[in-house]
Amino acid sequence: MELLVATGNAHKLAELAPLFPGHRLRRPADVGHPAFDVEEDGTTYVENALIKARALYALTGRPSLADDSGLAVHALGGAPGVISARYGSEDGRRKLDSAERNALLLGNCEAFEDRRCAFVCALALILDEERVFVIQETCPGELLRVPRGAGGFGYDPVVFLPELGKSVAELSQEEKNRVSHRGRAGRRMSCLLADLALAP
């Protein structure tokens, strides 16, 4: 099946593609919609994923997959949460790059002993107007005090996974797909698609 993915983020598409064997994942720009953009004004990851998937389906009429993800820091009450990509850029300020966001987050959490955090990913799939599927998964970890690793993107360098002894940015792509929030959600959604294909 061809799935349109509601993102312009090549990193996200590269992480999702191996999780959906037998399916072709394409961006809106690949099917003639390079300007596709949706305001993510939901208050939860699921709401934002559904907003994007529904907007893409309404535009194209094709099976549409959307991801909304972020980092939830326990000591910050779950922040930055759904505004993870816009953290520090509120009120019309210039959007920070990943290194600047990471530095801001670590600075805001410097005094906290509680370093618990979790990446969260919601995936929404719309096959048609009445067939809507949502999965949410997490990847728990600990917030580092200084970034580690050169891989991944976003907050990966500041999240440590104790069971692996590495930051997310130190994982190979195979390791990341196995343990990450997006990897877990993607595998479950892929299994769901396989089950649907077998259904009478």
What pLDDT score was predicted for residue 91?
72
Kindly report the CATH number assigned to the domain that includes residue 76.
3.90.950.10
pLDDT digits (tens, 9 = 90+) for 37-66: 999 899 999 999 999 999 999 999 999 999
What pLDDT score was predicted for residue 73?
98
Lowest mean pLDDT among 82-91, 111-120, 176-185: 82-91
What pLDDT score was predicted for residue 94?
85
pTM: 0.92
* Residue 200: pLDDT over 60: no
What pLDDT score was predicted for residue 9?
79
What pLDDT score was predicted for residue 92?
64
Name the percent of the chain in helix, strand, coil, to the closest 5.
Answer: 40, 25, 35
Q: What would the 3-class secondary structure string for 122-175 be?
A: EEEEEEECCEEEEEEEEEEEEECCCCCCCCCCCCHHHEEECCCCEEHHHCCHHH
| Domain with 90 in it | 2-198
The domain total for the chain is 1
- Distance set, CA 116 to CA 76, 154, 168 (Å): 10, 18, 14
Contact 187, 18 (CB under 8 A): no
Confidence category of residue 14, pLDDT binned at 50, 70, 90: confident
Question: What is the pLDDT averaged over residues 7-11?
Answer: 82
Query: Active-site residues: which are they?
Result: 68
- Tokens for 28, please give them: 């809106």
What pLDDT score was predicted for residue 199?
61
pLDDT digits (tens, 9 = 90+) for 99-134: 999 999 999 999 999 999 999 999 999 999 999 999
Q: Report the candidate in 54, 49, 15 with the shortest Cα–Cα distance to residue 182.
A: 15
Percent of the chain with pLDDT over 70: 98
